Amino acid sequence: MPATPDLISPRSPRVLAARRLARRNFRGKDRLFLAEGPQAVREAAAYGRDTLVELFATVEAAERYADIVGEARAAGARIHLADESVIEDISTTVTPQGLVGVCRFLDTPFEEILAARPKLVAVLAHVRDPGNAGTVLRCADAAGAEAVVLTDASVDLYNPKAVRASVGSLFHLPVAVGVPVEQAVAGLRGAGVRILAADGAGRDDLDDELDQGTMGGPTAWVFGNEAWGLPEETRALADAVVRVPIHGKAESLNLATAAAVCLYASARAQRASGGCRSVTES
């Protein structure tokens, strides 16, 4: 006999509790957030520490992603088979994929990040667009960064759009939130990390930095607002303000693209002969 949903009403207390997590004030109060889609749910289940609390799934999605549902159950999550209308009510996407997880906050204290002596860090200062924040987090993960820091002037890490844009990378590396940019820079510098501010009008050229061999050491890249970049007071905190060279006729690069270029440049330099990763891994 085919399975039937046990949650069929959007007014169910469980559904109402999950739906309110679309709003930042309730996320902060409950210290819970939504992870939508199979990739995010799989990563949440694998993260450990009872991160995945609940999983809402349509009958069709539970059958299609039976392995993910099994991993969620093994991770201790409560499983709810839900009517499609319930999933649509909880989800913040136009076309839900049938799986929505409720997860505990997992940000890392900034002091723990410093204690780990990171070699590559992305600092998001004044980044307001959640899609950009999630995409930069994904780029940092792909480039092998060891931490991401969101300053107190940046978007909420657990905004559903940011979580989706990270495509699971939120669960892969330590992320500190709500750190004043001055504290972030001072703490990282004290941990032996060079601070580079990424800015299209920067005095220093990324190609020159690479050619001069100055990027092999521990580095934190500071990325600014999508529209106006970094304010002068933030640029002044950096050891260098670096621009990504535009060799063609494009007016500029968007934030996520520029972040990917900068982070991969550092990752490549650090893995080259004499770079800090080669030293630590030898």
Looking at residue 250, its amino acid is A
Q: Are residues 168 and 269 in the same domain?
A: yes
Write the CATH number for 38: 3.30.1330.30
Q: Are residues 50 and 96 in the same domain?
A: yes
Q: Are residues 179 and 256 in the same domain?
A: yes
* Beta-carbon contacts of residue 52 (< 8 Å; ≥ 6 apart): 35, 41, 44, 45, 72, 75, 76, 77, 101, 102, 103
The C-alpha atoms of residue 17 and residue 14 are separated, in whole angstroms, by 5
Phi and psi at residue 276, to the nearest 5°:
-65, -30
Q: Is residue 222 part of a domain?
A: yes
Q: How far apart are the first and last CA of the chain?
A: 59
Q: Is residue 29 part of a domain?
A: yes
Burial 114-127 (b: 16+ CB within 10 A, else e): beeebbbbbbbbbb
Tell me how many domains the chain contains.
2
Read off the DSSP letter of residue 282.
-
Q: Are residues 201 and 262 in the same domain?
A: yes
Q: Are residues 31 and 76 in the same domain?
A: yes
Q: Are residues 235 and 155 in the same domain?
A: yes
Residue 3 is predicted with a pLDDT of 65
* Beta-carbon contacts of residue 232 (< 8 Å; ≥ 6 apart): none
Q: Is residue 193 part of a domain?
A: yes
- The angle that helices 38-47 and 66-74 make with each other, rounded to 10 degrees, is 30
Read off the DSSP letter of residue 223.
E
**Three-class SS of residue 56?**
strand
Residue 169 is predicted with a pLDDT of 96
Other CB atoms closer than 10 Å to residue 243's CB: what's the count?
21
Look up the domain containing 250 and give its range. Answer: 110-281
Q: Is residue 43 part of a domain?
A: yes
Closest CA to 218 of 128, 146, 158, 125: 146
Give me the residues paired with residue 176 across strands: 149
Q: Are residues 88 and 119 in the same domain?
A: no
Q: Are residues 61 and 93 in the same domain?
A: yes
Closest CA to 141 of 71, 43, 53, 58: 43
The answer to whether 146 and 243 are in contact (CB under 8 A) is no
Q: Is residue 8 part of a domain?
A: no
Write the CATH number for 256: 3.40.1280.10
Domain boundary among 57, 84, 104: 104
Domain boundary among 104, 128, 159: 104
Looking at residue 31, its amino acid is R
Q: Are residues 169 and 254 in the same domain?
A: yes
Domain boundary among 104, 119, 145: 104
* Beta-carbon contacts of residue 14 (< 8 Å; ≥ 6 apart): 7, 54, 80
Q: Is residue 2 part of a domain?
A: no
Pairing mode of beta strands 99-104, 120-124: unpaired
Closest CA to 228 of 151, 128, 133: 128
Q: Is residue 1 part of a domain?
A: no
Q: Are residues 240 and 147 in the same domain?
A: yes
The model's pTM: 0.89
The answer to whether 147 and 218 are in contact (CB under 8 A) is no
Total count of residues recorded for the chain: 282
pLDDT in tens for each of the 282 residues of the chain? 346 667 556 778 889 999 999 999 999 999 999 999 999 999 999 997 789 999 999 999 999 999 999 999 999 999 999 989 899 999 988 888 999 999 999 999 999 999 999 999 999 998 999 999 999 999 999 999 999 999 998 999 999 999 999 999 999 999 999 999 999 999 999 999 999 999 988 899 999 999 999 899 999 999 998 778 899 999 999 999 999 999 998 888 899 999 999 999 999 999 885 555 433 343
Q: Are residues 152 and 27 in the same domain?
A: no
Read off the DSSP letter of residue 49.
T
Q: Is residue 6 part of a domain?
A: no
Phi and psi at residue 63, to the nearest 5°:
-75, -45
Q: Are residues 237 and 131 in the same domain?
A: yes
